[in-house]
Structure 1
Amino acid sequence: MNVAQAVYFVAPQVVEIRERPLEPQKDTVFIRSLVQGISAGTELHFYRGDFPSGMGGDLPGLSKRLEYPLVYGYSNVGIDERGRRVFGFAPHQTCWYANEADLIILDDSISNLDAVFLPNMETALGILQDLQPIPGETIAVMGLGVVGLLVAELLSRQRWINLILVDMKESRRPIAEGLGAVFINPQKESLAEAVQKLTGGRGLDRAVNVSASASALQDLMEVMAMEGLIIEASWYGSRPVTLSLGGAFHRRRLTIKSSQVSNVGGHLGLGWNKKRRMELVLRALSEIQPRRYVTDHFPFAQAPRAYEYISKGHENTIQVVLDCEQP
């Protein structure tokens, strides 16, 4: 039997490193973790305690019911017993067992730090497939965390799209401009006035909200064009969301559509499945090389400090990783 060191969410704002016994099952492979990505969106819900208690874990290795104490995480890059670099949707722990079918083999075109973005790149591609951008449209992305930035990376590669990126962190401005997008900081300028000017008064054709803010979603609704589409890709946890639907939403015949990565949208047709999408994810990781968005490294043993750090919302923080090889 092997024993992993694992990150446990014990109570709101309480994280501990505990031992977690591992029992190998038939035909499983042993993996030693190298580096792991922390989700500053989903995982902060567990850190803060605002998640739907009792919800079932839907990935290998997670707690069967999401209630304290629990292990969580889904971005783990390691090396298996055959010496292969692999990615696994495994929680934050120093080693794990997995079925061969649950592992993604990494080739030399994808570094370990690029690979920690795999789940978020899959999310971003799912959002793009749900958004279905059309050449000539003006599209906004609200919220430039990791997922928002990856959506922006993908949209910036679409020809003849007028891209607007919105965030309250001024540090995102040079990133947005580097992608050829217009950056709007709603704390410094009016979103409504800026969109009206950029679109000649027409409004946004499509938009993506990944800010996990109901007020941001409301702001987007107010600047959409007639029959505009908003993809809502935020997870609000257990927080209620209140929207005003009697104005722009109603009169402009707007659509708000949820995007969630667990399934492939049926509108894509029978030719699409998760395997085909994952092939595209690996290609995107190789070409985009998102490792430049890693801003902070913490040794695995300092995971409790990493979550405290992320929760403070530092201006320049984007992706935080746990390094299992760093003492």
Structure 2
Amino acid sequence: MAVTGNTTQGPAEVHHEIPDAATAWWSIAPGQGEFRSEPVPDVSDGEASVRTLYTGVSRGTESLVARGEVPESEHERMRAPFQAGEFPFPVKYGYLSVGTVEHGPAWLRGRTVFALFPHQSRFVVPADALHPLPDGVPPRRAVLAGAVETAVNVLWDAAPLVGDRVVVVGAGMIGCAIARVARGIPGSDVTLVDVDPARAITAEALDVGFALASDDVPQADVVIEASGAGAGLNLALAIAPTDGEVVVASWYGNRPVWLELGADFHSRRIALRPSQVGAVAARRRGSRTTRNRLALALRLLEDPAYDALLSGTSSWRQLSEVTAALADGTADELCHTIDWTAE
């Protein structure tokens, strides 16, 4: 049952939850969505119920979802773990949720947990789908777990060594997370590259270098592209070392990307390699699981420097405005959080 509708008319009017019901956000058309009241099932053995504190907006992927630009060939592969509906619309999508366990196994009750769940006020999932936060990770910062998990996977793919010069093209949420994780490698020299000079402030907070895409970019041993823009991918190719590679963390949905594969591309023997968080990187697939990869990401989030990525927050009642901004390209926050504790 829809609680209210159109996102283009300003904040949607939402009624209070009825007992045993949750409020969920569904995308229903490009830039539009609605709140739906959904039943919350009873908790069975092996399950837990969670009351949401915060959800996070993964701007790159959720912009594609908000515009209906998930390619048909990827409709199944791109499903979030607890997604409802189908691409392109209507779909309940999202995977950065932090909340408090209300009912479930004794070891979880009262704990603050991370879950790969969409934007919804309450939910019931299998207990093993919940990840308790380390004591040093506050709930709002924990929505970055998905970004840091992606960063871990990208760096497993890129495999930088001690003392390497790492250049990350694109200072969005994922690029910044990659840079901060890479900074922890002894002797590493990490530089973020972006077209926005304001990202220099974020780079300083993350204690990494910064360069404008229009300037001379430092030499690199490892190049990672996370810009989401064809120009960024071409820049990454241009600065890659001879016999090196560019690890591509961006996902472009159904948008074509033009690449400059002439000039010295062949003579320098540059390789392009994709990295995608849906599977553990091949170098670690035999020894790590997605669950312990996420546990590692949560431990890394004990580092308060990641608070620099939390650049905006809205009440859940403003999800209509957030979705419209995602679709029209005006959303520019690194990680926008949705506060579900607000009345």
Alignment TM-score > 0.5, same fold = yes
Residue 236 of structure 2 aligns to a residue whose secondary structure is helix
Residue 250 of structure 1 aligns to a residue whose secondary structure is coil
Take 1:55 and 1:124, find their aligned partners in 2: how far apart are those partners?
Answer: 23
Q: Please, what is the CA RMSD of the aligned residues?
A: 2.1
If the length of structure 2 is used for normalisation, what is the TM-score?
0.85
Deviates more, 1:210-219 or 1:15-24: 15-24
In the superposition, relative to structure 1, how do residues 269 and 78 fare at CA in structure 2: closer, same or farther (>3 Å)? Answer: closer
Asked if the contact 1:61–1:90 (Cα under 8 Å) also holds between the matched residues in 2, the reply is: yes
Residue ranges of structure 2 left out of the alignment (5+ in a row): 1-18, 103-108
Residue in 1 that maps onto 2:75: 55
In the superposition, relative to structure 1, how do residues 179 and 321 fare at CA in structure 2: closer, same or farther (>3 Å)? Answer: closer
The Cα shift of 1:63 comes to: 2.2
Residue in 1 that maps onto 2:48: 29
Residue in 2 that maps onto 1:140: 167
Deviates more, 1:176-185 or 1:32-41: 176-185
If the length of structure 1 is used for normalisation, what is the TM-score?
0.89
Count of aligned pairs: 315
In the superposition, relative to structure 1, how do residues 246 and 104 fare at CA in structure 2: closer, same or farther (>3 Å)? Answer: same
Q: Does residue 42 of structure 2 align to residue 15 of structure 1?
A: no
Residue 118 of structure 2 aligns to a residue whose secondary structure is coil
The Cα shift of 1:306 comes to: 1.9
In the superposition, relative to structure 1, how do residues 29 and 239 fare at CA in structure 2: closer, same or farther (>3 Å)? Answer: same
Asked if the contact 1:221–1:248 (Cα under 8 Å) also holds between the matched residues in 2, the reply is: no
Q: Does residue 282 of structure 2 align to residue 266 of structure 1?
A: yes
Take 1:106 and 1:163, find their aligned partners in 2: how far apart are those partners?
Answer: 28
Q: Does residue 95 of structure 2 align to residue 74 of structure 1?
A: yes
Take 1:128 and 1:75, find their aligned partners in 2: how far apart are those partners?
Answer: 21
In structure 2, give the amino acid aligned to 1:72: Y
Take 1:256 and 1:288, find their aligned partners in 2: how far apart are those partners?
Answer: 33
Residue in 2 that maps onto 1:91: 118
Residue in 2 that maps onto 1:115: 142
Q: Does residue 249 of structure 2 align to residue 233 of structure 1?
A: yes
In the superposition, relative to structure 1, how do residues 255 and 325 fare at CA in structure 2: closer, same or farther (>3 Å)? Answer: same
Provide Cα deviations, 1:68-98, integer angstroms capped at 9, x if missing partner: 1110000111111222211111111111110
Residue in 2 that maps onto 1:159: 186
The one of 192, 197, 213 equivalent to 1:170 is 197
The Cα shift of 1:179 comes to: 4.0
Higher helix share: 1
Asked if the contact 1:114–1:289 (Cα under 8 Å) also holds between the matched residues in 2, the reply is: no
Identity of aligned residues (%): 29
In the superposition, relative to structure 1, how do residues 271 and 323 fare at CA in structure 2: closer, same or farther (>3 Å)? Answer: same
Provide Cα deviations, 1:291-325, integer angstroms capped at 9, x if missing partner: 3321211110110112334554466x221111011
